[in-house]
């Protein structure tokens, strides 16, 4: 089978890739397996030295990597540069902290010696998406390599060039051959890789159906999984918020990366008292956002990554409008080449509409009214997803109470948009998945938490 990557700004074919055959896949797994048994014995300072090399390579070549993202999935260059810098950050974070995070924990018992040690488990397979083609990979790779594991990457077909650059980067940084390997395979061959006895765990970032399929197959073979899946993040906007700042934050949260993010703001639940003013200010600001080919100018939005995604978001908008939602901005295909979609705003969104229930994976904002705080929280939690959420209020204690006790999500922010940070655990609940990435919690997901007792 041959894969093709298409420039979403021009609709031109960039590159063709031949899918790995079974012999090539076997070679990759066996090489990774051998590399792991040597790597697991390397010291933390040595692992950290190589991880810092990777961080430096990222920083030195960030323009090249940002251009590759712009070419393959349409990310604006400035956002691509920021993504690469964040990858360097996570490399440095784990280089500096992994040894302490995985230090033995001594527990007093009747035995003279009793402690918990954290040991690497082997090869971790990562099934990664196209929307943050560098960050998603480094978010899993940095902690796992520092923990002593090996990594196999199954990246999206449309960002295969990014995957190859990442593999080359780890080799240039000095990591052993095969320790981090990119598998040029489609979804149809993932099950065969998971089944292999040398694969010890699987992590996937993607849609809920894809995550369920991977988890089900991994479960059959007793392989641990971490799932970071879809989201329909709710932003609760209360009557006492700083409206100007709130609107600016919400517009950024919705349209960054073209709205193609699991943790992008999707639903804005606004109390009736300020709803009209909020939607007027939100729509005015959204309408100023520009879109175009990121390699030809400075734009707020690039194209959507694929044609099918462009068609899907249009169908969701049209269906919501047909059910009674009001279109305040955008909502129509622009008359130009490329998979572009304008910044779109829907209001009067209600239960039963795609804009209320579905994950809007594109530049479309859904504004939902609520009579008060209680109803706003109820609407926010009325979703099968539970990745991120935010609340806006001048009363910080009120916001912290709502974030802590009321909002059903893995990551809850007050007066800011949801974002990942190497220092904090990241992940969701409900149909948004399970397990955590990043922070001391993330590095312990794929290690053997081993009890040792000696008399």
Q: Concatenated DSSP letters for 225-247? A: EEEE----EEEEE-TTS-HHHHH
The bridge status of strand 113-120 relative to strand 105-106 is antiparallel
Three-state helix/strand/coil letters over 133-149: CCHHHHHHHHHHHHHCC
Catalytic residue among 72, 83, 167, 228: 228
What burial class does residue 424 get, using C-beta atoms within 10 Å of its C-beta: 0-12 exposed, 13-18 middle, 19+ buried? Answer: middle
Closest CA to 87 of 130, 63, 56: 56
Q: How far is CA 111 from CA 117, 448, 449, 450, in A?
A: 16, 22, 19, 16
Residue 127 phi, psi dihedral angles, 5° rounding: -105, 110
User: Please, are residues 203 and 125 in contact by the beta-carbon 8 Å criterion?
Assistant: yes
Distance CA(65)–CA(145), nearest Å, equals 21
Neighbour count for residue 24 (Cβ, 10 Å): 14
Helix (H) or strand (E) holding 266: strand 265-271
The reply to whether 262 belongs to the active site is yes
Neighbour count for residue 444 (Cβ, 10 Å): 15
Distance CA(297)–CA(15), nearest Å, equals 23
The bridge status of strand 364-370 relative to strand 326-329 is unpaired
User: Please, are residues 209 and 94 in contact by the beta-carbon 8 Å criterion?
Assistant: no
Q: Which two tokens stand for residue 135?
A: 């960050």
Catalytic residue among 262, 411, 412, 445: 262
Q: Which two tokens stand for residue 158?
A: 């449309």
Neighbour count for residue 348 (Cβ, 10 Å): 20
The residue count of the chain comes to 455
Give the CB-side neighbour count of residue 110, counting CA atoms within 13 A.
0
Enter the DSSP assignment of 332. Answer: S
Residue 409 phi, psi dihedral angles, 5° rounding: -160, 160
User: Please, are residues 122 and 152 in contact by the beta-carbon 8 Å criterion?
Assistant: no
Edge-first strand listing for the sheet containing 199-205: 180-182, 150-154, 123-127, 199-205, 224-228, 433-434
| Residues taking part in catalysis | 228, 262
């Amino acid at each position: 089978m041959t894969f093709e990557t298409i420039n979403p700004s021009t609709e031109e074919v960039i590159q063709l890739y031949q899918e790995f055959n079974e012999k090539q896949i076997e070679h990759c797994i066996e090489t990774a397996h051998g590399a792991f048994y040597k790597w697991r014995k390397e010291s933390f300072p040595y692992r950290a030295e190589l991880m810092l090399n990777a961080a430096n390579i990222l920083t030195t070549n960030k323009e090249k990597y940002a251009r590759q993202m712009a070419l393959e999935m349409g990310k604006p260059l400035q956002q691509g540069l920021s993504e690469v810098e964040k990858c360097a950050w996570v490399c440095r974070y784990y280089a500096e902290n992994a040894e302490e995070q995985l230090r033995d924990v001594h527990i007093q018992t009747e035995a003279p010696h009793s402690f918990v040690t954290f040991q690497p488990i082997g090869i971790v397979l990562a099934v990664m998406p196209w929307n943050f083609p560098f960050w998603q990979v480094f978010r899993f790779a940095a902690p796992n390599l520092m923990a002593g594991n090996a990594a196999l990457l199954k990246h999206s077909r449309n960002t295969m060039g990014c995957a190859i650059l990442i593999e080359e980067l780890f080799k240039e940084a000095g990591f052993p051959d095969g320790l981090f390997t990119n598998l040029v395979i489609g979804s149809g061959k993932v099950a065969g890789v998971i089944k292999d006895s040398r694969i010890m765990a699987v992590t996937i970032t993607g849609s809920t159906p894809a995550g369920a399929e991977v988890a089900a197959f991994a479960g059959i073979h007793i392989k641990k999984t971490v799932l970071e899946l879809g989201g329909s993040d709710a932003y609760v906007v209360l009557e006492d918020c700083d409206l100007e700042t709130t609107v600016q934050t919400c517009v950024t949260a919705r349209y960054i990366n073209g709205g193609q993010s699991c943790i992008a703001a999707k639903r804005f639940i606004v109390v009736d008292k300020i709803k009209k003013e909020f939607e007027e200010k939100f729509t005015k600001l959204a309408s100023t956002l520009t879109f175009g080919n990121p390699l030809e100018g400075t734009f707020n939005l690039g194209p959507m990554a694929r044609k099918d995604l462009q068609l899907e978001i249009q169908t969701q908008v049209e269906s919501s409008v047909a059910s009674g939602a009001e279109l305040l901005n955008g909502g129509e295909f622009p008359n130009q080449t490329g998979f572009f979609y304008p910044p779109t705003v829907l209001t009067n969104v209600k239960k039963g509409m795609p804009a209320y229930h579905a994950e809007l994976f594109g530049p479309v904002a859904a504004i939902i009214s609520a009579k008060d705080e209680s109803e706003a929280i109820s609407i926010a939690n009325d979703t099968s997803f539970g990745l991120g959420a935010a609340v806006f209020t001048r009363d910080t204690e009120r916001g912290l109470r709502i974030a802590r006790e009321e909002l059903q999500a893995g990551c809850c922010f007050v007066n800011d948009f949801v974002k990942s940070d190497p220092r904090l655990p990241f992940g969701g609940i409900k149909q948004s998945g399970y397990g955590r990435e990043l922070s001391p919690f993330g590095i312990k997901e794929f290690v053997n938490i081993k009890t040792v007792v000696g008399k």
